[in-house]
């Protein structure tokens, strides 16, 4: 009798484990970026950040993402053209987006 009760308990426990809700899934993150090429350095940095913000909003809408969080933005630049009287930089702004 004890063995039958133990088996019923084990079967009930296994059934409860299969019906129990799964734990919340981990958030998925993706790094998005936007590149700008323009004269000077301050302008391309500012524009890359602003256009990255706009791109993230558009990307979320296209992919059906309603709630997301943008991480810390980083901007990297390199000198594209260097003349005596002007220079041109290419700047890329990137940020992790978790949803």
Q: What count of Cα atoms within 13 Å lies in the side-chain half-sphere of residue 24?
A: 4
Domains of the chain: 25-98 (3.30.110)
Check whether 10 has a pLDDT greater than 50: no
pTM of structure: 0.70
Check whether 50 has a pLDDT greater than 80: yes
What span, in angstroms and rounded, lies between the C-alpha atoms of 76 and 84?
23
For residue 86, give the nearest of 43, 51, 36 by alpha carbon.
43
Structure tokens at 28: 């998925």
Q: How confident is the model at residue 66 (pLDDT cuts 50, 70, 90)?
A: very high
Tell me the pLDDT of the chain averaged across its residues.
82
């Amino acid at each position: 009798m004890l063995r039958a009760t133990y088996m019923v308990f084990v079967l009930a426990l296994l059934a409860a484990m299969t019906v129990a809700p799964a734990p919340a899934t981990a958030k998925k993150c993706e790094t998005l970026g936007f590149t700008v090429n323009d004269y000077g350095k301050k302008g391309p940095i500012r524009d890359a950040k602003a256009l990255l913000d706009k791109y993230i909003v558009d990307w979320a809408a296209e992919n059906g993402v309603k709630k997301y969080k943008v991480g810390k933005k980083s901007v990297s630049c390199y000198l594209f053209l260097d003349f005596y009287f002007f220079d041109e930089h290419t700047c890329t702004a990137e940020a992790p987006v978790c949803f």
